Structure 1
């Protein structure tokens, strides 16, 4: 007899929950008021970043391991306006975000890119380090992930006609983009030890090289 009435009672309870009790919701959508976040890495690292050029995109996953949802009050860089890093948070290009809800046992994706300024140093074998914190505040708890880049100042030759009898020194790497043209009848002199990097699609024309 108990089995006969079990299904109708279950259906009745579900209807009552949706119509009478609007607070009834899946557990992962309930709000967790304590606890923090976990991250796929404690540091997002970019190796050998040529200054003034954008890097590849790195992924950072932000996990809510709690059974209930959490509200991330704030996500921001240390210097959101003047940062060398660019963020895409949950699909939106922004340096700061607030009130991001992450369901229980769910995650949030942040994409990170870097573009470092030239710091004026000529040190081909000594990359400089540029760091910044990506900060999170959840339930009054502050956490951060470190963004770290190893920058290298360069001479950028981008779609350029080189001057006649140009000399490339060895105090910085030379990075070539697009069309790099040595005028006919001219010579490009490259100092010993100079490092040269060519981007895909380079078209070097009329190249007469000297030392």
Structure 2
């Protein structure tokens, strides 16, 4: 009986509550919507590459539940924008999908989200200087109640380099070339294609967007002129094969923010949120047998490995000569050398998921007035800023060694947010290195005084300073200039500064030169 009474009471309460509800009685909107912003700026996109998703919040500040008769794009079905209103795309399967919405309900004192994307075909638009400002409006209701929010996107035209497709599929073909030097063509798992002869000179007329690996064939040279901009899609890069060459020929820029003459290589997402995201693309792969590669005044950022150089450690000329360049935000290594030869001057490397510079499996390396730093803070890193070794792991139980012919670091900074910031991992009998007039971070009682870390031995360590703050301007933001309180001030040798008389900003080095790629300055407050 008591249970039955409880049922009747609950039923009565339900009838009473239902009779009082009026929140499903929607009235038409009267033009009093409020918006989080009156203009949505979709950041710069490339022609025919989809944007990120942006959002607009729409508020009903009234005490009445309303229905918005229409939400639509002013350009209609011809618009390059597409909308999603609170999870819906409108008339699915019709030309109006993502363009037109009817009778959108919005509760009292509530809000809804509109999500906005675009993919723009610049061929249909009158571009000026390879750029076009594309606009549209989101219209809410009509007549005297109409309200609107502007949409604005800057679109850039570009030269697109795609691999070929496998037959009629949407899968890119992989590169095939002689990998092991036996004269036979090998299949690889790298998607890409070889550049044609008329693609071997990159200019500053338009940006380049690369899908897969753009490969340089045997006997060919890829040249990048001053001011070139190269953007890589995910898992893309440049591959320089046997007896081929890469020459990046940037020059000094007058504007250090625009870097108008620098050659810049980065990912193809132009939105600010991607500006410093590591690992957006693959690498510049200087394959075993490629020769006489040069990089001058380049910025390489947001790769997995900035530069991967293999082989040629006994060649008469260096495999790679890199000068006046910066490598930032690599998810693995800034420069990874494997049994190779690299000469570097005025080079800055920072923010690498593993090492900023790793000279592995022996080789030959000469760095002068370079800043090899690592202030990575995205995750734990296993290796220091600088790693040298002379071996490769064959399997779990065996290794193969190769001589470290030489590894000279002159007037350099080797520093970071970990300790120690250089490791010399020797397994063979021929391991030659020397640090001269450098600022180094190394404070480890377990290693100091052991083989390769006897800092009093001037055969390997000459006139270095240890564990003194380099006073970088903002290392976590890749501003690696040094201030007047830097431990690198005045510690360099003129023997090396006369070889590299100008710093990375083209400033003359002082009579008592500083270590690293920059001469010290007084920072602005």
1:123 paired with 2:160, answer: no
The equivalent residue for 1:136 is 140
The equivalent residue for 1:198 is 232
Give 1:117 shift. 1.6
Give 1:26 shift. 4.5
The CA distance in 2 between the partners of 1:191 and 1:121, in whole Å, is 24
The equivalent residue for 1:51 is 47
Give 1:60 shift. 0.9
The equivalent residue for 1:7 is none
Give 1:101 shift. 0.9
SS of aligned partner of 2:213: strand
Q: Do the aligned partners of residues 92 and 16 (structure 1) sit closer, same or farther apart at CA in structure 2, a change above 3 Å counting? A: closer
The equivalent residue for 1:164 is 197
For each residue in 1:9-63, what CA deviation from the matched residue of structure 2 results, as whole angstroms up to 9, or x when unmatched?
Answer: xx96863463xx4xx3254x43344532111111110222211111110011111
Give 1:182 shift. 2.0
Once the two structures are overlaid, the 10-residue window that deviates more, 82-91 or 181-190, is 181-190
The CA distance in 1 between the partners of 2:222 and 2:128, in whole Å, is 21
Give 1:113 shift. 0.7
Q: Do the aligned partners of residues 190 and 122 (structure 1) sit closer, same or farther apart at CA in structure 2, a change above 3 Å counting? A: farther
Give 1:137 shift. 0.6
Higher relative contact order (CA 8 A, sep 6+): 1
The equivalent residue for 1:61 is 57
Once the two structures are overlaid, the 10-residue window that deviates more, 67-76 or 193-202, is 193-202
The equivalent residue for 1:155 is 159
The CA distance in 2 between the partners of 1:187 and 1:45, in whole Å, is 40
SS of aligned partner of 2:15: helix
The equivalent residue for 2:67 is 71
Give 1:142 shift. 0.1
Task: Give the alignment of 1:11-22 within 5 angstroms.
Answer: 15-16=15-16, 18=18, 21=19
The CA distance in 1 between the partners of 2:234 and 2:13, in whole Å, is 64
Q: Does the Cα contact within 8 Å between 1:164 and 1:182 map onto a contact in 2?
A: no
The equivalent residue for 1:209 is 246
Q: Does the Cα contact within 8 Å between 2:210 and 2:237 map onto a contact in 1?
A: no
With structure 2 as the length reference, what TM-score do the two structures score? 0.34
The equivalent residue for 2:25 is 30
Residue 222 of structure 2 is aligned with which of 185, 188, 196?
A: 188
Q: Does the Cα contact within 8 Å between 1:174 and 1:196 map onto a contact in 2?
A: yes
Q: Do the aligned partners of residues 121 and 79 (structure 1) sit closer, same or farther apart at CA in structure 2, a change above 3 Å counting? A: closer
Q: Do the aligned partners of residues 131 and 121 (structure 1) sit closer, same or farther apart at CA in structure 2, a change above 3 Å counting? A: closer
The CA distance in 1 between the partners of 2:37 and 2:224, in whole Å, is 42
RMSD (Å) for aligned C-alpha atoms: 2.8
The CA distance in 2 between the partners of 1:197 and 1:34, in whole Å, is 46
Q: Do the aligned partners of residues 120 and 191 (structure 1) sit closer, same or farther apart at CA in structure 2, a change above 3 Å counting? A: farther
The CA distance in 2 between the partners of 1:85 and 1:73, in whole Å, is 20
Residue 108 of structure 1 is aligned with which of 86, 106, 112?
A: 112
Q: Do the aligned partners of residues 92 and 179 (structure 1) sit closer, same or farther apart at CA in structure 2, a change above 3 Å counting? A: farther
Q: Does the Cα contact within 8 Å between 1:52 and 1:116 map onto a contact in 2?
A: yes
With structure 1 as the length reference, what TM-score do the two structures score? 0.80
Once the two structures are overlaid, the 10-residue window that deviates more, 170-179 or 156-165, is 156-165
SS of aligned partner of 1:81: helix
Q: Do the aligned partners of residues 184 and 116 (structure 1) sit closer, same or farther apart at CA in structure 2, a change above 3 Å counting? A: same
Give the number of equivalent residue pairs: 197
The CA distance in 2 between the partners of 1:71 and 1:97, in whole Å, is 11
Give 1:156 shift. 1.7
Q: Which runs of 5+ in 2 are unaligned?
A: 1-10, 90-97, 164-192, 250-525
For each residue in 1:80-117, what CA deviation from the matched residue of structure 2 results, as whole angstroms up to 9, or x when unmatched?
Answer: 21111111122123210001111111122111012122
The equivalent residue for 2:261 is none
